[in-house]
Amino acid sequence: MPLNAEAQLLLLMSLMMKRRRRGLRPQDCLERREAEARRRRSRLRLYQLQRQQQVLMLLLARGRDVRCPPARTLAHSHHHSFLKDFGARDWLDRFRVSKDTFLYLCDHLRTRLQRPGLTPEEKLGIALWRLACNAQCPLLREMFGVGRKAVYKCVKEVCQALVTVLKPVYLHPPDRQALRDTARIFNARWGFPHCVGAIAKLCIPLPEHANTGGAQSLVLQAAVDGQGLLWDACASFPGGMDSATILENSHLWALAREGGLLAAPREMFLGDARNYFLLGDTSYPLQDWLLKPYLQGSGLSEQQIRYNRRLERARSVAEIALLRLRARWQCLLVPADCPPGQVPTLVLACCVLHNVCEVHERRFDARWLEDVEMVDSPRAPSPHCLSVPINAYAEQIRDAVCGYFERHAEG
C-alpha cells in the first residue's frame, strides 16, 4: 500500500532520529543519564520537604487548638468589646479614666505590651480594673475570660511599662527653670512663698504570710506640688522606719544636698538666693530647704502659732493628694496579691497614673472616698524627729520666714 506524502515525511524523520542516537558517544549517553538522575533526586527532595512542612503546620495548628481553653476563644471572639460597649460612667467606675485617656495610655505603652497573649488594650484594661479595686473582682475575669494568674501577669507587665515609659514624663523633680513656676503656683494657691512642695507619707499594706522580714507595710514618701501632682516618690522602706531615716536615704535628700533646690540668683527671698522650701510635719528634720512646725507645748508665741497654722494649711496639699491617690487606686488599701518585691513598682505605677489623671482628667468621684474611710489602713509612725542634730542655720531661716509672715500680715 503506497504511503502518502505526510506518512513518508514522518517515516523519514524517525529514521534520521534513530541514526542520530546510534551516532551518540557512550560518554554523552552517560552524562545524559546522570543529569536525569540528578533532576529526579532534586524533585524528590523538594517533595519530601513540602510534605514535612505540611505535617509540621498541621501539628502546630492542632497544638493551638488543644492549648486554647474555651474561655479564651470566647474572649477573643468579643475582641475589644468594652471599647464600644462601655459608657462614660462605666469607664470611670471600672478603669478610673475616660476612654480618651485609656487610648492615650495604650498608645504610649503599646510597644511594651506587645508580648504574645492578650492584646495591649486587654492587658491595660485588666490592669487598670484591678488597680482600681480593693478586692478580687470576679466580674473582671468574666469580662476578659482570664484566670487569676493571667490578671497578675497583666498587672505586673502594665505597672513595669508605666514606670519605665511614663514615670520620666509625669513624675520627676522640676528642673531649675520649672522651680520658679512651681514656687509661684504654690504661693498663689497656698499662701506660702518660695516653696515648691510638701512631703507626706502613706503606708501600703504588704501581702499577708509573705517573706517580708517582719515588715507588715511599706512606706510611700511623696513630694507634692501646689497643684496636687507628685514630683518625687519613694516606696522602698518598711513601715517601721522613722521619717528622718527614710528621708536621709531617699533621692530627695540627695537632690537637696546636691543643690537641686537652689534658686537662681535673680530669685531672691529674705535677702538671698537660697534653696526653695519643702514643707514637712514634726517627724522630719528641720533643714535650710525643709521647714516644719514649731513643737507644740514649748511656750509658743502668737507669731509662731500663726506660722504653724500657715504651714499646716499649705502642707495639706500633700495629704489631699495621697487621699485622692488611695481613693482612685484602691489596690493600695489592701495587701496586694503579688510578691512583696513587686509592691514598690505597683505603688510607683499608681503614682504615675495619679499624675496622668490629675493632668488629663480633672474628674474625681467623691464616692470613691467612702471606700477609703471604711478601710483601716496602717499608719506610719510620726514621732518627733530626734535622730538628726538641730541645724542652727535652719532654725534661723524658720524664724526669718515666721517674721516674714508677721510683717506681711501687718502690711
Question: Which one of 140, 169, 198 terminates a domain?
Answer: 169
> Does 180 lie in the same domain as 282?
yes
pLDDT score recorded for residue 345: 95
Instruction: Yes or no: say if 394 and 286 are a contact pair by the CB < 8 Å rule.
Output: yes
Where would I find the H helices in 68-137? 70-77, 81-85, 88-95, 99-109, 120-132
State how far the Cα of 354 lies from the Cα of 348, in Å rounded to an integer.
10
- Specify if 263 maps to a domain: yes
CB neighbourhood size of 360 (10 A):
15
Instruction: Yes or no: say if 220 and 252 are a contact pair by the CB < 8 Å rule.
Output: no
- Specify if 48 maps to a domain: no
pTM for the model stands at 0.77
State how far the Cα of 208 lies from the Cα of 213, in Å rounded to an integer.
12
> Does 203 lie in the same domain as 339?
yes
- Specify if 46 maps to a domain: no
Question: What is the domain extent for residue 276?
Answer: 171-410
Domains contained in the chain, number? 2
- Specify if 207 maps to a domain: yes
- Specify if 296 maps to a domain: yes
pLDDT score recorded for residue 66: 35
State how far the Cα of 218 lies from the Cα of 238, in Å rounded to an integer.
5
Residue carrying the nine cell digits 492587658:
123
> Does 130 lie in the same domain as 243?
no
Q: Tally helices (H) and strands (E) across the chain.
A: 17, 5
Instruction: Yes or no: say if 223 and 315 are a contact pair by the CB < 8 Å rule.
Output: no
pLDDT score recorded for residue 409: 74
> Does 125 lie in the same domain as 184?
no
State how far the Cα of 311 lies from the Cα of 280, in Å rounded to an integer.
9
Helix (H) or strand (E) holding 217: strand 217-224
- Specify if 240 maps to a domain: yes
> Does 192 lie in the same domain as 139?
no
pLDDT score recorded for residue 248: 94
- Specify if 347 maps to a domain: yes
Question: Which one of 117, 141, 169 terminates a domain?
Answer: 169
**Residue ranges for the chain with pLDDT beneath 50:** 62-79, 411
> Does 302 lie in the same domain as 226?
yes
> Does 247 lie in the same domain as 368?
yes
> Does 270 lie in the same domain as 125?
no
Name the pairing type of β-strands 217-224 and 195-205: antiparallel
State how far the Cα of 223 lies from the Cα of 317, in Å rounded to an integer.
10
Question: Which one of 126, 153, 169 terminates a domain?
Answer: 169
pLDDT score recorded for residue 402: 95
> Does 368 lie in the same domain as 344?
yes
> Does 180 lie in the same domain as 165?
no
> Does 339 lie in the same domain as 241?
yes
Main-chain phi, psi angles of 24, to 5 degrees = -65, 145
- Specify if 64 maps to a domain: no
Q: Which residues of 315-331 are buried (b: 16+ CB within 10 A; e: fewer)?
A: bbbbbebbbbbbbbbbb
> Does 252 lie in the same domain as 110?
no
